[in-house]
Amino acid sequence: MENQKLTGREKKRNQRTQIVIKASYKLFLEKKIESASIQEIADEAEIGVASVYRYFTNKGEMAVEAAILSWESGLNPLLEKILSEESSGIAALMNGYLDIFKENPDFFRYLEDFDNYISKLETPPLAMERYEKMLIRQDEMINSILQKDVNNGTLRTDIDIMAYLNMAGQAVIAMAQKLVNRGNVVSHDEDYDPSELLKMLVETLYNNIIKE
């Protein structure tokens, strides 16, 4: 009976924790992590400030959990979908970034703010260990996707493909962040459709690893 009560309490705590994470993610997107206050997060979550601190020791911990939430709604579903489809490979992964850019631009918007915020902290949040494990798991999933194309012989063999994909992913994310967060800096930028620019980058990067 005691174990059942404990399980119930844990479930309730997890539900409230998720409410706080989603509230913080919403505010971080609207105001940036640095500008959002714990009081504002508590108000958004409709709980007291003391309750927020019961679940998180500081804003940095919330920022990490919000980043995990962002990945889980952004790239992770794409990776899982590609792995479940026998014929899908690196092309589907690269094109998937375009879909995320169109359908979930907040993924790129938050990721840049998160990286900037975390890099300024003197002490990394404890949740970063979980965040890094998630990224390692993503690398493993990408490697599994890569093996599909390696096995069917469509990729070049004279370069380190995994390192290349890491570079390509970083390049696409960086450009997507620029387009989402800073938009048209000069009037000349308005001459080009952001989605088309990102598509050109993706196609260039992909075509460079395909055997001629």
In this prediction, residue 7 carries a pLDDT of 78
**pLDDT single digits (tens) 92-140:** 999 999 999 999 999 999 999 999 999 999 999 999 999 999 999 999 9
Domains of the chain: 1-56 (1.10.10.60), 60-207 (1.10.357)
- State the average pLDDT for the chain: 90
How far apart, in whole angstroms, are the C-alpha atoms of residue 176 and residue 94? 13
Q: Do 183 and 189 form a contact (C-beta atoms < 8 A)?
A: yes
**pLDDT single digits (tens) 71-83:** 998 899 999 999 9
In this prediction, residue 148 carries a pLDDT of 87
Question: Which residues of the chain fall below pLDDT 70?
Answer: 1-6, 183-190
Query: How many residues are given for the chain?
Result: 212
Helix axes 59-73, 106-120, angle to 10 degrees: 150
Q: In this prediction, what percent of the chain has a pLDDT beyond 90?
A: 75
In this prediction, residue 175 carries a pLDDT of 94
In this prediction, residue 5 carries a pLDDT of 56
How far apart, in whole angstroms, are the C-alpha atoms of residue 85 and residue 105? 25
In this prediction, residue 11 carries a pLDDT of 85
In this prediction, residue 2 carries a pLDDT of 45
In this prediction, residue 134 carries a pLDDT of 94
